[in-house]
Structure formats: structure tokens, C-alpha cells
């Protein structure tokens, strides 16, 4: 049976002139791995929809109490109709009166691998599916077992195996937010901005709509424009006391006007929903420039006492006497706007989450050019990283820094320590360095490098940070740390500071968020000697 035939039941239940759900008429692009999604769905009753990609569709189960990492818990799951692959990105509101009417969030998504079978469709038909999960919330092995004979709306049993990812007492309701927008079901219901456009190609609907739809409204941006030098700005449902809006924070470049604080706040509001998945649930270090990019700067780690009560925060239980204990956590878009208003021209999240600060989410490669390093030499080093990761079968996500360098973030599943990721990155980096010995120095002190580049593996450490994607940089024109596709390393027009806060919106509209691959933490680092 082909995918179109398998979707006949799904399509017969829905009016695609009314529901924003995808029709499945447009073929979804291949990603090279099997995907899964879990949607938290408030219809007649709250339930979770667990969906596995197989044979061109999403095989689906409704799980009333949701999946869990607790191996002692058994969940009932109802096998329902197959859904189209495009449903992995569906978040929004199904209208009342339509089948499944209610609000839906993408509670988790990632990739999965069938265990002990190369034919998951046959395993489902047999009534016994074992799945190794590589999501942001779901990890380890899930097992689905049918109870009784095959029939319509058949009941299955869902459980998590006793493995390294099992967590006693783990409850899905303790983790209620979407992994693509950061919103709760209630927030989606109040403002169903992200709706699937069934008449768009799947890749456009998935890449463009999320970030653009969740940004500030035209009325909110107009209200900022109308304010004097100081005032109160209501954005994302929060009232912010904004100050010195006409202050010039970045010098102009190429004959352009300087960039004011008002412009910085408008930019921050526009990109905050896109940035949020990369900073949420992480301590944030702020590089503050209260009087602008050319004046005195300093690092702000501690959350100030005057921060509003609604701003997220985290107390580091491992902080020693004299060390920062309470950090800012940007867990909603308005918090990032608050930070920019506070003078944060650069945003530096920790590379580990607050619930496991010693377990990194990324292995980090930082190509740091020296004074004598040309841009072409920096690109050559980046291409060597591209080739090395391809050879290792590892997914890395590159971005230009907005300054002079290039960074590559390799998302990893939770498990390795910083010492382990640092050792792995060092081994790869030193191998790359041997291919360009005249361009790379391993000296710690900059004065000893003789102007050569450094492949800085030392950023893989607790509390170390790299600038967030889409963060401004303190330079003329307000350049931005911009995600790129690997193929852009071969584009002769590529520059490390080629995008600014004035051009980033057009880039996002055209290409979507090219860094989103960094949000799927599904990889184990392979052995490398």
C-alpha cells in the first residue's frame, strides 16, 4: 500500500478548507533519518499523539497520559489512523467542530531507530514495536505492544525500558512547552499564530511560518516607534520600561546611519521567537555595552536584583563562595527584549541545560582567526571541518560569528561530560590542524600565536559560552552571528559579518532558520583516535 492510500482514512475525516492541518498532498522532503513527533493535544480530553515515520507516513498512537521515561509506568495507547509526514511540524488550533478540534503543540520531536528489525511496518502489523528515541525530551527505548487481536482503534501498551535514559518518576506534564515555539497549549489557543498552510510546499511551511508568525505584531512595533526617548512598551504580553531609545549603540557602516537602541529592541523582538529554542532552559551570560559598542563593556553573569519578577532565573547549586549564583534564563521572548534594553548587545547561553549543567548539549568547534589569518584561510579551515564531520558521519551546524570567525555546533544526546566532548573535539581539531600546519597555532596566549588561527576546543567546559545564533555583535552596522548552510562556504560572496540586524529578517524569510538542526540532540560522538 502506498503512502497516499494509507492516508485515505486521515483525509476522509477532515475538511482541509477549514482545518489548518496538512493534507499530505505535497511530498515531504527527506531528512536522511526516520522522524518522530509527539503532540500535546487538548481536544475533547487532553492526550498525547505519538507518531513514528515509516513507509512514507506517520504511524500514530493516542496516549491519554502521555509517554514517560519512568520504566515502572505502563501507558495505554490507542492505534489511530496514519498521518502525513508534514504533521511533524504541525502546531496550532484545529477548529471546533472539526475532527480532533482543539489546540496542539509539538511537545517533542527528533529521530528514531527501529530496534531489532529493518521493517517497522511489519513490526506494527505483528503488534510489537521497539523504538530507540533521540528527541529533546524522549530518550532511550520505547516499547509498544498490542493488547488483543488487530482491529480498528486497537489498544496497545506503551512503556520505557530500563536503560541509561530511564528516569524514575518522570512525568510529561512537568514539561509542558513546545520544542519549536516554546509555547504552552494555552498560549497557542490564545494566539494560534503558527498555522499550517496546506497550499505551500512543506519545506516553506515548516521553515518560514514558525519564526515569522510568533514575532511581535505590527501594532506592537508601531507602539515602539511612537514612544519618546523613554517610556513603557508592551510586547509579548509584558510591560517593559524602556529607556534612551534614541541613543546610538552601533556606528553606521558603508554610509548608513548609526543603529539606535530603538532599532536594537525592535530587532530583538522580531528574532526572539527564533532565538528562544537555543537559549531556553539555559543560564545566560550577557555582554553588556551600556553606552554603545565603542564604549566600556563588561560581562554580566548575575541576574540584577531589579529584574522583573517574571524574568526567568536559575540558581547554580554548584556555585562556590564569591561565584555567581543566580543567572538569567530567557524562557520567553520578552525576556530577551528585557536583556537588550538592559544593555546586552551580545547573548551568550551556556551550552548545557540548567537541569544538567555538567552535561553539554553540544560539542563545539570554534575557528578563531589570528591577526594574519585571511578570510580565505578561515574558509579553508571550515571546509576541512566539513570534510572531517562528513567522514565521521556526524551532523554539525555552522554559523559565521558576525566578527571574523566561524563556529560549528555538533548537537549530542545527553550523556557525555564536558571533559569527554572537549577531548573528542581536541582530537578532531588537532587532526585538522595537521592538514594546515602553517595556519594553525596551539599556543594558549594570543601573543605567542604569531598571528595564526586557533582551533579553540577549550570552549567545551562548564560555564563557557559561544555567542548565540542571531545575536548582534559590537561592531559598526550591528552585524549578526548568522547560521549558514555548509554549501555557502563555497560562495565567494560569503563574509563573516555579512548580515546585520537590518538584513536578518529578509534572510530568515528566504531561508528559514538554518540552525534548527542543532535542536535535535540525537547523536553519540563516534570513536576517533
Confidence band, pLDDT 50/70/90 cuts, at residue 193:
very low
Q: What is the pLDDT of residue 454?
A: 92
Instruction: Tell me the C-alpha distance between 528 and 394, whole Å.
Output: 12
Q: What is the pLDDT of residue 528?
A: 74
> Residue 79 CB: number of other CB atoms within 10 A?
20
Q: What is the pLDDT of residues 134-171, one digit of tens each?
A: 998 999 999 999 997 766 678 999 999 999 999 999 99
8 Å CB contact between 518 and 413:
no
Instruction: Tell me the C-alpha distance between 420 and 415, whole Å.
Output: 10
Q: What is the pLDDT of residue 26?
A: 60
8 Å CB contact between 498 and 482:
yes
For the whole model, what pTM was predicted?
0.64
Q: What is the pLDDT of residues 447-497, one digit of tens each?
A: 888 889 999 999 999 988 889 999 999 999 999 999 998 989 999 999 999
Q: What is the pLDDT of residue 207?
A: 31
Confidence band, pLDDT 50/70/90 cuts, at residue 179:
confident
- Which residues make Cβ contacts (< 8 Å) with residue 166, sequence separation at least 6? 69, 70, 71, 140, 160
8 Å CB contact between 180 and 4:
no
Q: Supply the Cα-derived Rg of the chain in whole angstroms.
A: 24
Q: What is the pLDDT of residues 31-63, one digit of tens each?
A: 557 999 999 999 989 999 999 999 999 999 999
Of the candidates 125, 169, 113, the one whose C-alpha atom is nearest the C-alpha of residue 151 is 125
Q: What is the pLDDT of residues 215-266, one digit of tens each?
A: 899 999 999 999 999 999 999 989 999 999 999 999 999 899 999 999 999 9
Bridge partners, 286 (sequence order): 300, 347
Instruction: Tell me the C-alpha distance between 85 and 94, whole Å.
Output: 18
Q: What is the pLDDT of residue 212?
A: 37
Q: In this model, does residue 419 exceed pLDDT 90?
A: yes
Q: In this model, does residue 11 exceed pLDDT 50?
A: yes
Q: What is the mean pLDDT of the segment spanning 91-112? A: 90
8 Å CB contact between 512 and 207:
yes
Query: How is residue 339 written as a grid cell?
Result: 536583556
User: Helix, strand, coil proportions of the chain in percent (round to 5)?
Assistant: 25, 25, 50
Q: What is the pLDDT of residues 353-388, one digit of tens each?
A: 998 999 999 999 999 999 999 999 999 999 999 999
Residue 465 has what DSSP assignment?
Answer: B
* Of residues 466 and 267, more confidently modeled: 267
Instruction: Tell me the C-alpha distance between 196 and 308, whole Å.
Output: 35
Q: What is the mean pLDDT of the segment spanning 395-409? A: 94
Q: What is the pLDDT of residue 194?
A: 41
Q: What is the pLDDT of residue 214?
A: 57
pLDDT-above-70 percentage for the chain: 93
Mean pLDDT, the chain, whole residue set: 89
Residue 302 has what DSSP assignment?
Answer: B
- Which residues make Cβ contacts (< 8 Å) with residue 377, sequence separation at least 6? 369, 436, 439, 453
Amino acid at each position: 500500500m502506498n503512502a497516499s492510500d494509507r492516508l485515505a482514512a486521515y483525509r476522509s475525516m477532515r475538511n482541509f478548507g477549514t482545518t489548518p492541518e496538512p493534507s499530505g498532498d505535497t511530498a515531504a522532503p527527506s531528512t536522511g533519518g526516520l522522524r518522530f513527533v509527539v503532540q500535546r493535544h487538548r481536544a475533547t480530553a487532553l492526550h498525547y499523539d505519538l507518531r513514528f515515520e515509516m513507509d512514507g507516513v506517520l504511524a500514530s498512537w493516542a496516549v491519554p497520559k502521555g509517554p514517560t521515561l519512568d520504566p515502572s509506568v505502563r501507558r495505554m495507547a490507542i492505534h489511530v489512523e496514519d498521518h502525513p509526514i508534514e504533521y511533524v511540524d504541525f502546531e496550532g488550533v484545529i477548529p471546533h467542530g472539526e475532527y480532533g478540534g482543539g489546540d496542539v503543540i509539538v511537545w517533542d520531536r527528533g529521530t528514531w531507530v527501529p530496534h531489532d528489525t529493518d521493517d517497522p511496518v511489519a513490526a506494527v502489523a505483528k503488534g510489537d514495536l521497539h523504538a530507540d528515541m533521540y528527541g529533546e525530551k524522549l530518550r532511550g527505548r520505547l516499547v509498544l505492544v498490542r493488547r488483543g487481536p488487530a482491529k480498528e482503534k486497537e489498544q496497545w501498551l506503551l512503556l520505557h525500558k530500563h536503560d541509561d535514559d530511564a528516569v524514575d518518576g518522570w512525568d510529561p506534564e512537568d514539561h509542558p512547552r513546545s520544542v519549536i515555539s516554546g509555547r504552552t497549549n494555552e498560549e497557542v489557543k490564545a494566539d494560534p499564530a503558527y498555522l499550517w498552510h496546506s497550499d505551500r510546499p512543506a519545506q516553506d511551511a515548516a521553515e518560514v511560518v514558525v519564526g515569522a508568525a510568533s514575532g511581535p505584531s505590527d501594532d506592537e512595533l508601531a507602539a515602539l516607534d511612537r514612544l519618546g526617548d523613554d517610556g513603557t512598551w508592551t510586547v509579548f504580553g509584558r510591560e517593559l520600561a524602556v529607556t534612551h531609545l534614541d541613543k546610538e549603540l552601533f556606528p553606521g557602516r558603508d554610509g548608513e546611519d548609526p543603529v539606535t537602541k530603538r532599532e536594537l529592541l525592535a530587532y530583538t523582538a522580531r528574532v526572539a521567537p527564533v532565538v528562544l529554542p537555543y537559549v531556553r532552559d539555559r543560564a545566560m551570560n550577557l555582554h553588556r555595552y551600556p553606552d554603545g559598542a565603542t564604549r566600556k563593556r563588561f560581562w554580566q553573569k548575575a541576574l540584577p536584583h531589579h529584574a522583573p519578577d517574571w524574568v526567568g532565573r536559575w540558581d547554580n547549586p554548584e556555585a562556590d563562595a564569591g561565584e555567581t549564583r543566580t543567572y538569567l534564563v530567557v524562557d520567553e521572548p520578552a525576556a530577551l527584549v528585557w536583556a537588550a534594553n538592559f544593555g546586552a548587545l551580545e547573548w551568550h547561553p551556556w551550552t548545557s541545560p540548567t537541569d544538567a549543567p555538567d552535561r553539554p548539549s553540544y560539542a563545539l568547534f570554534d575557528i578563531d582567526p589570528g591577526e594574519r589569518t585571511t578570510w580565505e584561510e578561515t574558509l579553508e579551515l571550515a571546509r576541512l571541518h566539513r570534510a572531517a564531520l562528513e567522514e565521521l558521519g556526524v551532523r554539525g551546524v555552522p554559523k559565521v560569528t558576525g566578527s571574523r570567525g566561524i563556529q560549528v555546533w555538533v548537537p549530542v544526546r545527553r550523556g557525555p561530560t564536558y571533559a569527554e566532548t572537549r577531548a573528542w573535539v581536541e582530537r578532531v581539531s588537532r587532526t585538522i590542524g595537521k592538514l594546515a600546519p602553517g595556519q594553525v597555532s596551539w599556543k594558549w596566549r594570543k601573543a605567542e600565536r604569531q598571528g595564526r588561527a586557533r582551533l579553540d576546543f577549550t570552549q567545551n567546559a562548564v560555564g563557557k559560552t559561544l555567542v548565540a545564533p542571531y545575536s548582534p555583535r559590537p561592531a559598526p552596522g550591528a552585524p549578526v552571528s548568522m547560521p549558514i548552510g555548509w554549501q555557502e562556504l563555497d560562495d565567494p560572496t560569503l563574509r563573516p559579518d555579512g548580515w546585520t540586524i537590518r538584513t536578518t529578517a529578509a534572510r530568515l524569510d528566504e531561508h528559514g532558520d538554518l540552525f534548527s538542526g542543532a535542536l535535535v540532540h540525537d547523536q553519540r560522538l563516534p570513536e576517533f583516535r
